[in-house]
Amino acid sequence: MAFSVFLGQGTSNFAKCMALLHGVRILRSLGITKAEIEMDSLVVVKWLKSSRCEVWYLEEYWDEILELLKHQQFTIRHIFRQGNAPADFMARMGSSGCSTRWHSFNELPQPLKGLLRMDKLDFPYLRLAG
């Protein structure tokens, strides 16, 4: 399962929080009770480890995240954005207006398939500035 979601305008903390919320909603809908969560937001990782969000306008979303995760066995860790090219690709799709879910590897866009193959083989990914 992979997804991208168009969120409109907002802060990076809002985007990371919403990515986490959408992800845990999907876990719940699929009946998955064990998860390894990787995020490129050290701030959100720290919030989750302490069970405390420090941004008032995210509290309602944060409460839902904590409620959903009560029923999960999960680990969370920070990963640099450069270390998770597939997630970066899907985030860019969402920011360009694409909201979709892919339910199998075969449904994924070809560039994302390539990034996932590289990620699985632990190949480094270099993103060109521009």
Q: What is the pLDDT of residue 95?
A: 87
Rounded-to-10 torsion of CA 76, 79, 85, 87: 30
Spatial distance between the Cα atoms of 128 and 32, rounded to a whole number of angstroms: 36
Q: Are 109 and 116 in contact (CB under 8 A)?
A: no
Q: Which domains does the chain have, with CATH numbers?
A: 2-120 (3.30.420.10)
The pLDDT profile of the chain, 130 residues, written as one tens digit per residue, is 788 899 988 888 999 999 999 999 999 999 999 999 988 889 999 999 999 998 999 999 999 999 999 988 999 989 876 667 888 888 888 888 989 899 899 999 998 898 888 877 777 666 655 5
Q: Are 4 and 90 in contact (CB under 8 A)?
A: yes
What's this model's pTM, rounded to 2 decimal places?
0.81
Q: What is the pLDDT of residue 14?
A: 93
